[in-house]
Chain A
Amino acid sequence: MKTNDSNNNKWLDDRTEAYLDGELSIEEHNQFERLLQQDNDWQQEVSWAVTIRDELRAVPTPEPSPDLRKAILNEVRKDAWSNFRSRLFSGFGGEFLRDTLFRGAFLQWRPVLATLTLLVVASTFVFVINRPGTPTPDPEMISQAEVEQALAEAKWALGYVSKTGRLTGTSMQDALGPLLKEQTKE
C-alpha cells in the first residue's frame, strides 16, 4: 500500500504542471482527477499550485528600458549575422574564406570593394545613358513617319533586288535555285 501511494505521488507529481496547463491526454487527465479525489493532500497541493500560477500570471510583465532593448536587439542581430555567415561559408569555401574575408582582409580591402562597386555602377550608368551610335533605337523612340519611310525603303530595296534579277535575264529564284537544290541534296 505504501508502495502504491509512493507510486501515485510520483505519478501525480510528474503530471501536475501538465494538468494545470491542460496538456494531459484524456486518459491521463481522467486518472489524475480520480487520484486527486482520493487524496486530500494532493487536492491541497494542486490548489496551491493553481493559486501560485494565477498569482504569477497577475504579475505585470516589466518593460525593458530603451537601452536594454537596443542592446538585446544588437545581440540578436549579431547572432543572426553570425549564423548566416556560418551557413554561407560552409557552402562556399569554409573557414579560410570566412577568416580572410570577414576578419582581417575585409577591413583592409574595403576601399577597393567600394571602388569596384562604384565603377560597376558608373559603367552601367554610362552604358544606359550614353550608348554611342546605337543602331537600333527603342521602339518608343521610333516615330510613325520613320516607320513609313523605312517601309517604303524596304519595299524599294526588295523590289530593286527582284527587278535587277529579272533584268539580268534570270530571276533570283533561278540564280539561287542551284544553291538551294544542292542544300536539299545534302
Chain B
Amino acid sequence: MALKNKLSMIVLVLLCAGWAGAWQNTLYAQDDMTNDPGYIDFTDMESRFDAEPNFQVNIKGHLLKLVAEASREDDPEFADLLLRLRAIQVRSFPMRRAQIRAMELHSESIGEELESGGWDTVVRLRDYGQYVDVYAIENPEYILGLMMMVVDAEQNETVLINIVGDIAADELGRIGSKFDIAPLSNLMEDR
C-alpha cells in the first residue's frame, strides 16, 4: 500500500475513534442528567466542603420509577408525584459549630452561582445557628428544579437537597408533610 494510502487509513481510523468516543459520550449524556436545567451537579459543590459527605442519596432513572411503583399501593398520590420527578439528590456534610461562618460563605457563593444560572431565590433565612436557602428554576409552565441548602449548627450538619422534575409546590409541601422525618443518623444506620 502506498504511503499516501497508509496515511489516509490512519486518519480515517482516528476519525472513527473520535466518532465512537463522541457517540458514547452522547449516549452517556442521555443517561446522566447534566443537561437537565433542574439538575445540580453536586460533585462540584462537594469540593467546597472539607469533608466527604456522610450521607448521600441519588434516586433517578429506573430506580425512581421502581420506587414510585412500590409506593403506589400505599400512597398513590405520592407515587404520581414521584413519577413526575426525574431525580432526588441529597448530600449531608458533617460540620462543627465553629465552621458555621465558613458554611454561610459557601452557601452565599453557591447561591450566587445558582442565580447567575437562572435560578430564583425563594427562601433565605438567616437565624442563629441555622441558615436556610431555597432556590427554584422554572420554565413558563413548570418549576423544573428545587434546591434546598440547610446549614444547621445544632445538628452539626449541612444538608443539600436537589429535586428535579415537574414540581407542584403545593403537592410537594402537602405530601411531604405526611412523612415522619427521622434524624439522618437513623437513615444512615439503615444502610
Contact = CB atoms under 8 A, between A and B. Distances in A.
A139 interface: yes
Interface in B152-182: 159, 161, 163, 169-170, 172-182
Interface stretch (A22-30, A31-39, A55-63, A166-174): A166-174
A183 B141 contact: yes
Given A119-B20, A149-B191, A179 B136 contact: yes
A146 B1 CA distance: 57
Interface in A143-186: 146-173, 175-177, 179-180, 183, 186
Contacts of A9: none
Contacts of B9: 111-112, 115
B20 A173 contact: no
Nearest to B69: A147
Chief secondary structure at chain A's binding surface = helix
Interface stretch (B24-32, B99-107, B109-117): B24-32
Interface residues of B, number: 69
A44 interface: no
Contact of A151 (B67, B120, B122, B159): B67
A112 B8 contact: yes
Report the contact-size class of chain A (Cβ under 8 Å from the partner): 35 or more
A135 B41 CA distance: 13
A158 B80 CA distance: 14
B179 A159 contact: yes
Given A136-B61, A172-B173, A175-B122, A163 B70 contact: no
B45 to A, nearest CB: 16
A115 B28 CA distance: 25
B90 A152 contact: no
Interface string B44-86: 0000000000000111111111110011000000100110000
12 contacts: A111-B9, A116-B16, A136-B63, A138-B62, A142-B63, A153-B90, A158-B163, A159-B176, A160-B176, A165-B134, A172-B173, A175-B169
- Which 3 residue pairs of A and B lie closest in terms of their CB atoms, listed nearest first? A136-B61, A162-B176, A159-B179
